[in-house]
């Protein structure tokens, strides 16, 4: 850790965070949840909100991919993703679904004011972001793709989207 210049868990908890809340809406794979924790740690997100059937720590399968990030990243469970979205909106977050939907914009075209707070919603591996939540979002982004499948694993999608937000919000010149 010292050679890599990584903060301790305590130092991480006290450092400035990227103003992003990650919402997992009924994500069924514990490996996807663990990966979301690990990626959220890498980009120093404010929090993860696990909704519905999304698994919660402590869980062996989550820890397998999180590698301890469940101890560094703030998280909570909320039964309804729509309730989580409403609460975050009341706290001033802009709610953005990551979904292939009518009216979605390509990820690279999203405009991110530097002092905004953002809640990114990722949905179920089969059904996507619930229609109840989609009715509440401010905008929707999708990752442009050129292959035959036109879908990505949630863990991969979280990494791509968080990199785009991190580069625009944190690495701005």
In whole angstroms, what separates CA 29 from the centre of its chain?
15
Radius of gyration of the chain (CA): 15
Share of the chain above pLDDT 70, in %: 98
126-168: per-residue pLDDT in tens?
999 999 999 999 999 999 999 998 889 999 999 999 999 999 9
87-135: per-residue pLDDT in tens?
999 999 999 999 999 999 999 999 999 889 999 999 999 999 999 999 9
Report the pLDDT value the prediction gives residue 30, as an integer from 0 to 100.
97
Report the pLDDT value the prediction gives residue 3, as an integer from 0 to 100.
65
2-55: per-residue pLDDT in tens?
667 788 899 889 999 999 999 999 999 999 999 999 999 999 999 999 999 999
Residue 24 to residue 51: CA distance in whole angstroms: 6
Residues facing 120 on adjacent strands: 22, 96
59-86: per-residue pLDDT in tens?
999 999 999 999 999 999 999 999 999 9
Tell which residue, 91, 102, 93, 101, has the closest CA to residue 123. 101
Q: Find the length of the chain.
A: 173
Residue 70 to residue 89: CA distance in whole angstroms: 25
What the block records as the tokens of 47 is: 């929090």
Hey, is 87 helix, strand or coil? helix
Structural domains for the chain: 9-169 (3.40.1280.10)
Q: Is the pLDDT of residue 1 over 60?
A: no
What the block records as the tokens of 96 is: 């953005």
Cα dist from 45 to 36, 39, 158, 169, whole Å = 11, 9, 12, 12
* 21 contacts: CB under 8 Å, gap ≥ 6: 45, 46, 47, 48, 49, 88, 93, 117, 118, 119, 120
pTM: 0.95
- Residue bearing tokens 């991480």: 12
Report the pLDDT value the prediction gives residue 173, as an integer from 0 to 100.
54
Report the pLDDT value the prediction gives residue 114, as an integer from 0 to 100.
83
DSSP assignment, residue 124? B
């Amino acid at each position: 850790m010292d050679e890599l210049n990584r903060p301790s868990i305590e130092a991480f908890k006290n450092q400035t965070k990227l103003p992003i809340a990650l919402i997992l809406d009924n994500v069924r794979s514990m490996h996807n949840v663990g990966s979301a924790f690990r990626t959220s740690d890498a980009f120093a997100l404010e929090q993860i909100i696990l909704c519905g059937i999304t698994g919660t720590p402590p869980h062996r399968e989550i820890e397998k991919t999180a590698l301890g990030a469940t101890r560094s990243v703030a998280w909570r469970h909320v039964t309804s993703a729509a309730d989580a979205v409403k609460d975050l909106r009341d706290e001033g977050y802009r709610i953005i679904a990551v979904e292939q939907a009518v009216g979605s914009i390509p990820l690279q075209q999203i405009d991110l004011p530097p002092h905004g707070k953002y809640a990114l919603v990722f949905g179920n591996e089969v059904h996507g972001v619930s229609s109840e939540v989609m009715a509440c979002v401010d905008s929707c982004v999708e990752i442009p793709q050129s292959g035959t499948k036109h879908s990505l694993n949630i863990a991969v999608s979280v990494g791509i989207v968080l990199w785009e937000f991190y580069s625009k919000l944190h690495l701005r010149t």
